[in-house]
Chains A and B, each alone.
Chain A
């Protein structure tokens, strides 16, 4: 059924910390590695070492520059399915192949029913769905549904591949429907953002904006001695150092 189920209490999703993400693409690589053998296997990987490599990836890492001049920030931005509450990719599907799970809100594709019309990819504002030309069906992030409930894995490994591999611990997985969960607290503490709220798809995933930049010495917690060396001390001892600098620069 492509009509959306009534909103459930549980909303599994990701919280991605844009402050600590280093843009290493490890999440994308581990995602591809797991999923090319998992629920949506195999993921196409054409001409991987050639001039025009292309294939299906569920994670893509963009880099943006926000602001201009000294206050600008370079931000690495991992993008994947946000498992929307109002998932239009599901409601536009003519065959019922795309569906949203009642129990945990995960959006999945039943590849056996998909006709490959690609309309769901048109309906997704986040560009999260990628078409598999080899299989003739649409593929997407499964939130590693085959890991998070997998009884054959040790309990500590029952989290999405992207979260498990992140060396900067920038990715967090949990229930965003529970206000007391770790991820919900993180979103509340850090002012987690919803992407494109104006389009109204109500994505579940949240992005934590970069923390304010530390620009003056005081922000680093440096003591008075360091402040004096930098010439910010009003008692005038910085003048001597500037004079030394001028003399030595001649």
Chain B
């Protein structure tokens, strides 16, 4: 699959945003962080900026952005539509929670109720993003039981590391946040490793023989494509990354999203502010870069069934 930069940016930015907002809401309700207006403003503000930038960037690749409102209509069948509905609906508890946290300076009572709703809506929105990919039977690498867990843990991972860096900047002693970050690191390591093993060993059910119905004669290979130049389907669905590059990128990705942030978080989170702030900030930046590579690979390593008509051997 062609890794479109707008989609990669959208899913990673919105994942980080929903992760951050969801954790802010959760820790706010459970009194894990103080209901300080400035902290609420900066944290929820960054989260909202990430989510909104992601949503806007996802409309850039549309042929008709002015008709985007129509995407709210088909929530009965389409996960893309559900994602749009949920992403928009999340702004309601987000604004109410932000009002409580920033203006009223409290997440007690009704505002706590709104914040709980906010955390649930963040989870559901990321879940629906994952489902858009997981329900595509045409791409066996995505039609995988680990696709949705992958989207969820990477949202938790990026959100928790940015959240951790923020609490350090505000001088809060929150070992619970560091704990969530470390758990998210190990969880994402486990899920991604299992996902990569799974796509390496399960090449997909469809073959050129089944795609052409010519399997009774023998092995089927493409002799001539329809045209000498690439068509839309080949450009959109035909992106291929060399296996040796993919292996190298997986290693870089592993260092960036797991190893470096794990070491930085472990070494610096209990230190004095002048070490802890840059340390946790660097960890968050490293994770974000790692997740960008992870998302790029998620696309580039996926083979679409239609490529069986253009020389692919399995999909």
Which residues of A are interface residues toward B (Cβ below 8 A)? Answer: 1-4, 18, 28, 52-54, 56-57, 60-68, 71-75, 77, 79, 88, 90-97, 113-119, 121-127, 129-133, 135-137, 193-201, 207, 209-210
Contacts and interface: CB of A to CB of B under 8 A. Distances in A.
A199 B293 CA distance: 29
Contacts of B65: 115
A113 to B, nearest CB: 6
Contacts, number: 207
Contacts of A2: 74, 76-78
Given A67-B218, A94-B74, A125 B63 contact: no
B306 A125 contact: yes
Contacts of A52: 229
Contacts of A121: 232-233, 236-237
A131 B212 contact: no
Interface of B: 1, 61-65, 67-68, 70-71, 73-74, 76-81, 84, 132, 135-139, 205-206, 208, 210-227, 229-233, 236-237, 304-310
A194 B213 contact: yes
Contact of B221 (A65, A90, A93): A65
Given A94-B73, A121-B237, A122-B139, 6 more contacts: A2-B77, A88-B137, A91-B78, A93-B78, A126-B306, A131-B236
Given A114-B63, A135-B63, A207 B77 contact: no
Contacts of B219: 66-68
Contact of B70 (A72, A95, A194, A200): A95
Contacts of B76: 1-3
A194 B137 CA distance: 17
B225 A62 contact: yes
A52 B227 CA distance: 11
B220 A65 contact: yes
Contacts of B138: 88, 122-125, 199
A97 B230 CA distance: 27
Contact of A199 (B137, B232, B236): B137
Nearest 9 CB-CB pairs, A to B? A116-B63, A136-B63, A67-B218, A127-B306, A193-B213, A125-B305, A94-B81, A60-B226, A66-B217
A59 B132 CA distance: 28
Contacts of A131: 63, 232, 236
Contact of A137 (B64, B79, B80, B306): B64
Given A95-B74, A131-B236, A199-B206, A64 B67 contact: no
Nearest to B4: A118
Contacts of A57: 226, 231
Contacts of B231: 54, 57, 60, 130
Contacts of A126: 305-306, 309
